[in-house]
Structure 1
Amino acid sequence: MHTGFTWLGCGAFIPRSKVLRFLAQLGSNGLSKDRLRVADMYFSIWTNQYPYQMSNPLTPLDQKEGWSDGVDQWRIVYQNIYDASSKLYEALAANAVDHFMREEEQPRPDQRDTRAPCLNDKCLFLTNIDPFPLPTSVVFDNVNVTQVRMQETQFDKLDFPSNDFWTKHAYHYAVDRDDNTCWNSYKAPHAGDYFGLHMLTAINSKHVTILSSQNINHLENVFAISTSTNGDRWVTCKYQPLKDAVVSSDPHRLHIGFLCPAAEPFRFLRIEFQRDLPEPFEVCSLGLEGFNV
């Protein structure tokens, strides 16, 4: 069992095959009419896959006369999450021929690095730094856990950002074209950690600019730059000093010149830490020649 809940109402891309499988699951599990009305709460859990969630700014809609108006919506949500999880657990334990997947899809949570779409929809923000515990940190016990809040109690004992912190420093703030908002790594980066961009179209560039709320203009030797045309084969680029006209005196702005062995357009850029940092790192904006987010 390797699954999780996500709100489909916040936006989702779903393969047609999973929708068809879910319809087959509904047809064979005999949910009551009341449960069928909120079947979307079952969908992500019954995929038996960890949802791939990306950070986005959400705008609340008018809740007047909404389905949750006048009801304890979290009680309903938690009841259905637990019911969906229990039914999945029992189906997997029975090991019968059914419509539930057993194999875990790739990439697994510890291999994922696509975190947020850029505001202009021309790129994606990448980083391997994840401040949240892996879902395998808390195991679902179908016997001793009788409600979702009991499961949450176990998760709450782990170290992860508070709601207030993440509201101010989520991934998408690195690429929202607002220099006053910043992604914060929460934990101090280690050597080998990275952040960067996956661009919709290939570009040519020989320098990258990082804007932070911190003083970073002395850290050019901390980072290594690599590029890729497909996200699989990476080329390490050499550091190249920039002309004085390009370099800014702003202590919050770091300009890094680089020269790659193959002078070809690239779609992926990775900025990798070469040593451990003593404190969390913040990125407020990223820029390449002719491309700023």
Structure 2
Amino acid sequence: MACFYVDDDWNASFYLKSLIADFRSDPYVLHSATEPYTFYTNLVWTYFDKNIDLHTGFSWIGCGSIFLREYAQRHLQYLQVYLKNNRNLVYLSDVFFSIWLNDIPSQFNINIYGLTGRNSGASFSSSSNFLQYQHQSSILAIRILEHNLRYNQSNATSHLGFVRRSNRRFPYYIKSSSLKDDFIFFTNILPIDIENIPFNISKDFERSTRKNLPRGPSVAFFLSHTTLSAVDNDSKTCWRPGRNARRGEFFAIDFLRIQTNLSFSLTVGHTQELQDNLDFNLSLDGLWWITYRSLNGIKRKSQDLTSGEHQHVIVFNATEFNAGFHSFRYVAFNESKISSSGEFQ
């Protein structure tokens, strides 16, 4: 059913349980993992064009990824057809893989770790032509996909074409697994509005190349307040989206499987007013949610940091929740008001 892919110089064991759970909840997209700067870069390297059903993005799969076996089999067919005149680029087929899926990958924003004590000689990426081939592959991948989607839009002929419909179950999230790999923190607040980045193949064909690496205050802020800061067990750091929460936005936790009578705590730096106005929702599958409106099983205490900042620690004990709310896999804190009273943190 599924394929697991990782380069031989990366250790995916630190987030493997989260990666598997994420795949099982949404098996029709590519699930991968990378570090924060590359995660942000991959958001920049996305392509949308509703006129031809283009909705794809880049992801390195070498740090650990899971995808359907049929996607791998189809990709091998694509390589035979579309790289028959560029056989030297087959060794960089992972550059083509995520783009040709024509769907935004589900990526973990995490710390990645190399394997220690490994010595297998010079890597392929250190070869003299690697950067040239990588640049060429990045351009060719989107050119081939865009050309075929546009051709299919105006022709009814039957030939080996690319997938046009997105089959994902969930919207686009930022997600980070915990240090113990026992839960996932995620949010639907992206640092970039990826669906509204203009795209024109005649001038944007180099978007997913090293010529288009993000710089400036936006990426710097993201790296300083990424979702990783929500799961690092450090009270001096926190996740911040950088603006006030908007209606429909949320932060959430996936406990990887349905659990009963679970206890957990949440430390927040935003105001008590904002927290009190959030809907506390529970779900078994992440698609259907129910709001828990009682305070039974929920306790709050305040703490002051040496920096002078004030935090609230909220303790949730599901054994004391009302009947019918003892079992869940996901919890979410949703902004349901039209006007927010602050920024999540």
> TM-score per shorter chain, which class?
0.7 to 0.9
Does 2:66 correspond to 1:13? yes
Deviations 1:92-137 (A, max 9, x none): 23325114212222246xx234622222222222322222212442
Give, in angstroms, the shift of residue 177 of structure 1.
2.9
Change (3 A) 1:127 1:84: same
Give, in angstroms, the shift of residue 57 of structure 1.
1.1
Letter in 2 for 1:118: S
Structure 2, unpaired ranges of 5+: 1-53, 305-309
**Residue equivalent to 2:192:** 132
**Residue equivalent to 1:183:** 239
| TM-score after normalising by structure 2 | 0.67
Q: Confirm or deny: 8 A CA contact 1:184 1:281 kept in the other structure.
A: yes
Does 2:110 correspond to 1:51? no
Q: Confirm or deny: 8 A CA contact 1:21 1:99 kept in the other structure.
A: no
The within-5 A match list for 1:78-117 is 78-95=135-152, 96=157, 97-107=159-169, 111-113=171-173, 115-117=175-177
Q: Distance in 2 between matches of 1:235 and 1:146?
A: 44
Letter in 1 for 2:165: E
Q: Distance in 2 between matches of 1:151 and 1:135?
A: 21
Give, in angstroms, the shift of residue 172 of structure 1.
2.6
Give, in angstroms, the shift of residue 270 of structure 1.
1.2
Does 2:325 correspond to 1:272? no
Q: Distance in 1 between matches of 2:235 and 2:260?
A: 23
The share of aligned pairs that are identical, in percent, is 22
| TM-score after normalising by structure 1 | 0.77
Q: Secondary structure at the match of 2:137?
A: helix
**Residue equivalent to 1:147:** 206
Coordinate RMSD, CA, aligned:
3.5
Give, in angstroms, the shift of residue 28 of structure 1.
1.4
**Residue equivalent to 1:118:** 178
Q: Distance in 1 between matches of 2:290 and 2:204?
A: 48
Q: Distance in 1 between matches of 2:169 and 2:221?
A: 27
Q: Distance in 2 between matches of 1:11 and 1:125?
A: 18
Q: Distance in 2 between matches of 1:192 and 1:142?
A: 33
Change (3 A) 1:164 1:31: farther
Give, in angstroms, the shift of residue 24 of structure 1.
0.6
Q: Single out whichever of 224-233 and 255-264 deviates more from structure 2.
A: 255-264
Q: Distance in 2 between matches of 1:102 and 1:172?
A: 33
Q: Secondary structure at the match of 2:106?
A: coil
Q: Secondary structure at the match of 1:2?
A: strand
**Residue equivalent to 2:277:** 222
Does 2:338 correspond to 1:281? no
Q: Single out whichever of 93-102 and 34-43 deviates more from structure 2.
A: 93-102
Q: Secondary structure at the match of 2:235?
A: coil
Q: Confirm or deny: 8 A CA contact 2:250 2:333 kept in the other structure.
A: yes
Change (3 A) 1:73 1:181: farther
Letter in 2 for 1:3: T
Give, in angstroms, the shift of residue 256 of structure 1.
6.3
Q: Secondary structure at the match of 2:107?
A: coil
Q: Secondary structure at the match of 1:83?
A: helix
